[in-house]
Amino acid sequence: MIRKIYPILLLIFVAFNCNEIELLQDNPLDPDNPDYTAPTIVLISGPTDGETIETSSLTFSWQGNELVTEYRWIFDNGSWADWISQTTVTLDYLDEGDHNFSVQGRYLSGDTSSVITINFEVDAVQGPALIFYPRIQFPSIGQNVTFQIMAEEVENLTAAEFLITFNNSLVTIVSITQGTMFLGNGESLFHTVYDNDQGTLSVLMAVLGGSSPSVSGTGVLAEVSLSIQSGGSSNLSFDGTEVMKDPQNNFIIINTTVSALVVVE
């Protein structure tokens, strides 16, 4: 009886293994399959490479070929996001200047597509303006963070004065130092007063001499260092009383101000 069953079992075993081999050959994710197609991905919305955009918020969308199931993306010098099935992301609080965005797709097998990278420029602020750089930071409790306060696209700026408010239960000011914009034109005035109990910072600065008693362009007026006290979010906001003046003591119209946001989880 055993001798009669053995050939049958052998045939079943061979048949099973043949089916398995045939199945592997038909696997569309197998690079050895003659019909194998490598994963690909395309951006279907967002700026074109080298484009200048006039907004601080931007949505990217992408699409992979049929078998791509997961995607990841990276913005500027950050870290790669986790692999997800999502095919869109919106980036807010984009700073002025040059940026890049990259995206990649992969199969369930782990095979990955080439990385697609788009370079673009943000020019969302039309000067003259007072802005914070960066627009947003995500520190942890106990950390210190630094923001720059910048004059954007100014002409013949001789003096600036502004008041900033902040949530003093979340952040406190550690120090405030003069930026480089007024330092290249000889002697300058830089006077600051901050009150962590009230959550205010006042700054008065001016060019006092030199061959040209004014500055033009975009530059850093001041740098403020903050200590993070608790979780939550706080704006660093201009209070609406800010002024800029030229060498003839005329007011320079400020088109816009851009506040900063600190988000602590």
Average pLDDT across the chain, whole number: 90
- Which residue type occupies 150? M
**Encoded tokens for 247:** 């060498």
Please identify, in words, the CATH class of the domain defined by 129-264: mainly beta
Residue with tokens 């903050």: 226
- Please report the pLDDT score of residue 22 as a whole number: 47
- Please report the pLDDT score of residue 30 as a whole number: 77
CA distance 115 to 101: 10
Task: Write b or e for each residue in 167-179: b if 16 or more Cβ atoms lie within 10 A of its Cβ, otherwise e.
Answer: bbebbbbeebebb
Average pLDDT over residues 67-76: 97
Residues constituting the chain = 265
41-122 fold: Immunoglobulin-like (2.60.40)
- Please report the pLDDT score of residue 33 as a whole number: 80
**Encoded tokens for 17:** 């293994």
**Encoded tokens for 153:** 């696209």
pLDDT tens readout for residues 73-94: 999 999 999 999 999 999 999 9
- Please report the pLDDT score of residue 187 as a whole number: 86
Nearest-CA neighbor of 55 among 102, 103, 101, 90?
Answer: 90
Nearest-CA neighbor of 32 among 109, 135, 94, 104?
Answer: 109
pLDDT tens readout for residues 184-224: 777 899 999 999 999 999 999 999 876 668 999 999 999 99
Max CA distance (Å), the chain = 115
Nearest-CA neighbor of 228 among 150, 165, 138?
Answer: 138
CA distance 27 to 44: 29
Residue with tokens 């005035």: 189
| Residue ranges of E strands in the chain | 41-45, 51-53, 58-64, 70-75, 88-91, 97-106, 116-122, 129-133, 136-137, 144-157, 159-165, 171-178, 188-195, 200-207, 215-228, 232-238, 243-245, 256-258, 260-264
* Residue 5, pLDDT above cutoff 50: no
DSSP letter for each residue of 123-155: ----SSEEEEESSEE---TT-EEEEEEEEEEEE
